[in-house]
Structure 1
Amino acid sequence: MGYFVNVEQGVNLFVEDINPSASKTIVFLHGWPLSHEQFEYQFDALPQMGYRCIGIDWRGFGKSDKPMNGYNYDRLADDIHAVVRTLQLDNFTLIGHSTGGAIAIRYTARHAFGVSKLILIDAAAPTGFTKENANNLLTEALNDRPKMMQGVTDTFFFQYITAPFSNWFTGLGLQAAGWSTAAIINTLRDENLNADLPKISVPTLIVHGVHDKVIPYEQAQILNQTIKNSHLVPFHYSGHGLFWEERIKFNELIKQFVG
């Protein structure tokens, strides 16, 4: 079922809550500039395995409200904290993909409330975009956002995707507001998470596509070296979208890690 949760005055986040009666909970944070719908192939499988799956659209993205401000890691992590407190979640696994991985890291370092395990998928951490890449994306986002999003889709996957899948995936990114899409590009360029990593103490699974053209695999190795109690699993047949490209392997790995 889907519903909205108020995170600050005038800002409500959309939450997809699947199998809410299950005893084990997994919270999903999508990547830029997508929505919780990117995890369709986890939501198809994991509730059948007995998990409660909660997908949250960040402010500015998907079905959530789209205010003009609040697109830094602190505010985005505080939004997630507000949802966690409102839903009274505890002892849950937090999953973040790409920029969602960065938000998950900031949440765990800043709040840690309720998180028992952490899974980072192709995380945009400890740094995000280079200045050059960010500025190029920003120019496209502010002048031809559909073209920018098609370019994101074209570089996202290592494996072949069909035209209908490409159209669907590109459409997810176009649900976002233009201003929030641009604001997160700035965040990915200007913020880093080096100070957050030593603060993470929960068991952490790091998964990363070795062919990732968005966030290099080397960054996953840095996370593994810096986050204590972490384990890195490379995905040899994936780019930035292992949650779809190797979904059977990934879903099974989630099951093994969450227990």
Structure 2
Amino acid sequence: MGHYVAVEEDVHLYVEDIGEGKPVVFIHGWPVNHKMYEYQFNELPKHGYRFIGIDLRGYGQSDKPWSGYDYNQMADDVKGVVDAMELDNFVLAGFSMGGPIALRYMARHKQQGVSKLLLLAPAAPSFTQRENFPYGMEKKDVDGIIDNLNTDRPKMLEDFGGMFFGSDDVSDVFKTWFHGLGMEAGSYSTIHSAEALRDEDSFEDLSSITVPVESFHGKNDQICPYEFSGELQKGINGLKVVPFENSGHGLFVDEKEKFNQELLRFLGE
């Protein structure tokens, strides 16, 4: 069942709500939408879980306002969904850009309603390199992405998709479908979110996490390097990292069976 939730007077988010049981709220990555979790919302309801997938503002079937793509506003949007749907005792899962948004929700809204946190190839604690953090892209690389979004967005997303998966088993047809998810986003939405990824970080959010937390991360991730999760361990007490030896950034497809097994284990613990 799909819902539209008002998070501001003129901004409505699309939320997919499937199954019954303990809620698991999924935040997607840049520049796709909740449909990236297809092989999870096919599976979780079989095991007594309620899949809730949010299309962030600017993405998928949600409204696409000009502004509001910083981490604070995105986290506030998640809270708007949580409040409107009266969610409590739920697991919050964030992939890639959804990782820092989940972390900001935890810090900014005092972990409201969250019983466990799951980070999936997170773009955190910083997507770009900075002093004492030599991992990830340089800011000038993200500037190049933004330039290419302004000149040939379909080609830029195709090139980005070429870095996404680490398994030769991911079909060209699947990659074409996945590319289409990115094209559903607003052009300016992808640009403004890329600016947030370039400029913002999560370092100050980490100490606020007190619920059980794990990070699933591909060893061959070319977009959010595996080292990101090692750095997160320094700031989040008790964080467990689950390595995916044969995955790139798209671990939810690269090692789909392992991903779902580890997901169900984490949810059931």
TM-score bracket for the superposition, by shorter chain length: over 0.9
Residue of structure 2 aligned with 1:218, choices 200, 209, 227: 227
Q: Tell me which stretches of 4 or more aligned residues in structure 1 moved more than 3 Å.
A: none
Aligned to 2:135: none
2:78 match: secondary structure: helix
Which stretch shifts more, 244-253 or 180-189? 244-253
1:239 to 226, 236, 248: 248
Output one character per residue of 1:133-152: Cα deviation in whole Å (capped at 9) or x when no partner. 21110011111000011011
TM, length-normalised to structure 2:
0.94
Q: Which residue of 2 aligns with 1:119?
A: 118
Quick one: which amino acid aligns to residue 117 of structure 2?
L
Pick from 148, 163, 178 the counterpart of residue 155 of structure 1.
Answer: 163
User: Which residue, out of 10, 26, 42, partners 1:28?
Assistant: 26
Provide the aligned length of Structure 1 versus Structure 2.
257
**CA positional deviation for 1:253:** 1.1
- Tell me by how many angstroms 1:245 deviates: 1.1
Q: Deviations over 1:121-140 (max 9, x none)?
A: 00000111430221110011
| Map of 1:9 onto structure 2 | 9
CA distance in structure 1 between the aligned counterparts of 2:48 and 2:153, rounded to whole angstroms: 39
Equivalent position of 1:133 in the other structure: 141
Q: Name the SS of the counterpart of 1:156 in structure 2.
A: coil
Contact 1:146 1:174 in 2 (8 A): yes
> 1:147 and 1:50 mapped to 2: Cα distance?
40
Which position in structure 1 is the counterpart of 2:69?
A: 71
Q: Does 1:258 align with 2:267?
A: yes
The within-5 A match list for 1:91-130 is 91-111=89-109, 112-129=111-128, 130=138
Other-structure match for 1:18: 18
- 8 Å CA contact 1:206–1:224 kept in 2: the answer is no
Instruction: Give deviations 1:181-210, integer Å, cap 9, x for gaps.
Output: 000110001001100011111110111000
Matches of 1:202 and 1:133, distance apart in 2: 34
Letter in 1 for 2:147: T
The letter for the 1-side match of 2:218 is G
- Counterparts of 1:41-60 in structure 2, within 5 Å, are 41-60=39-58
SS at 1:205 equivalent: strand
Task: Give me the whole-angstrom Cα distance separating, in 2, the residues matched to 1:73 and 1:200.
Answer: 17
Q: Percent identity?
A: 47
Q: What amino acid does structure 2 have at the position aligned with 1:187?
A: A
Q: What is the aligned partner in structure 1 of residue 131 from structure 2?
A: none
State the shift of 1:257 in Å.
1.1
State the 1:23 CA deviation. Answer: 2.4
Alpha-carbon contact 1:202-1:229 (below 8 Å) kept: no
Instruction: Structure 1 unaligned segments of length 5 or more: list them.
Output: none
How far 1:225 moved relative to its partner? Answer: 2.3
Distance in 1, matches of 2:11 and 2:183, equals: 20
